[in-house]
């Protein structure tokens, strides 16, 4: 089981809705994956917070009004219609808020999952000495190399003038799709820049540190960018800002 599959099962696992086989597979994955254990801890913490939300009982004044209404022989239909409309509006409003909350929660969890995945890809490329499928400092050599290999054309920038020379690129896989991975360098520190389409998504950014690696995420011109390196946060931030101008 990979982290992406585990992430999709965590909600059902927390709610004890998984079958025995799926639960056992997930537990086996969690035993060896600190990142997914952290996600699970956040899910469980969120559930505890929701259960701890304050309960607001009806006031004595409201209880008295309800009691008086029960003793009346007749009901004002217009008042009932107004109350029903208000209840429906409140119900719909609550549903909208729940949907918004669920979407925001899903976005946060997806971002965390992808961040873990790109760090894993960065580490694997270093470990396997497979940073490049095409090795070149010339953007006009690297960019055409991707033609016919992807269903999009990744932007390839030359940042050598500010100390981040391009050194090559390769194909990689993130979130279930083939992506472009450009490789830049700062002194002896490689920077993996993962790129894939993000059409229709709201522009967002994310900064985090995972297992000693700095991660930057942003969306620009309908493309999603993830930069990963063991550089310090300030220098990786300079790199990311240069690509967002």
pLDDT band at residue 245 under the 50/70/90 scheme: confident
Predicted local distance difference test score (pLDDT) of residue 229: 96
Predicted local distance difference test score (pLDDT) of residue 107: 57
Predicted local distance difference test score (pLDDT) of residue 173: 94
Closest by CA position to 227, among listed 159, 176, 161, 141: 159
- Domain range summary for the chain, segments of one domain joined by +: 3-51, 107-243
Instruction: Mention every residue, 6+ apart, whose C-beta is less than 8 A from residue 157.
Output: 139, 166, 242, 243
Question: pLDDT tens-digit profile of 171-212?
Answer: 999 988 999 999 999 999 999 999 999 865 554 688 999 989
Q: How far is CA 240 from CA 140, 146, 157, 205, in A?
A: 21, 22, 12, 10
Residues 215 and 209 sit within 8 Å (Cβ to Cβ): yes
Predicted local distance difference test score (pLDDT) of residue 98: 44
- The pTM for the full model equals 0.59
- Overall average pLDDT of the 9-17 stretch: 81
**95 or 30: which leads in pLDDT:** 30
Question: pLDDT tens-digit profile of 37-86?
Answer: 888 888 787 767 666 656 556 677 777 777 776 665 555 555 566 566 66
% the chain with pLDDT above 70: 75
Predicted local distance difference test score (pLDDT) of residue 102: 47
Closest by CA position to 150, among listed 166, 173, 131: 173
Calpha distance 202→173 (Å, rounded)? 22
pLDDT at 104 exceeding the cut of 60: no
What does the chain come to in residues?
245
Calpha distance 160→180 (Å, rounded)? 20
């Amino acid at each position: 089981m990979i982290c992406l599959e585990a992430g999709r099962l965590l909600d059902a696992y927390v709610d004890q809705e998984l079958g025995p086989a799926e639960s056992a597979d997930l537990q086996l994955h969690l035993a060896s994956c600190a990142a997914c254990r952290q996600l699970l801890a956040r899910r469980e913490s969120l559930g505890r917070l929701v259960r701890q939300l304050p309960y607001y009982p009806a006031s004595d004044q409201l209880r008295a009004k309800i009691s008086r209404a029960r003793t009346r022989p007749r009901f004002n239909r217009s008042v009932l219609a107004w109350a029903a409309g208000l209840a429906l509006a409140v119900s719909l409003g609550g549903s909208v808020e729940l949907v918004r909350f669920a979407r925001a929660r899903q976005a946060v969890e997806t971002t965390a999952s992808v961040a873990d995945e790109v760090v894993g890809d960065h580490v694997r490329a270093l470990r396997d000495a497979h940073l490049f499928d095409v090795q070149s400092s010339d953007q006009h050599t690297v960019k055409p190399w991707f033609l016919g290999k992807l269903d999009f054309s990744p932007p390839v920038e030359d940042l050598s003038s500010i100390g981040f020379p391009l050194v090559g690129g390769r194909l990689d896989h993130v979130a279930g799709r083939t992506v472009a991975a450009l490789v830049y360098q700062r002194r002896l520190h490689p920077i993996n820049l993962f790129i894939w389409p993000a059409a229709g998504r709201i522009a967002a950014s994310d900064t985090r540190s995972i297992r000693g690696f700095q991660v930057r995420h942003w969306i620009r011109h309908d493309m999603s960018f993830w930069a990963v390196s063991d550089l310090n946060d300030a220098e990786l931030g300079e790199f990311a800002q240069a690509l967002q101008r």
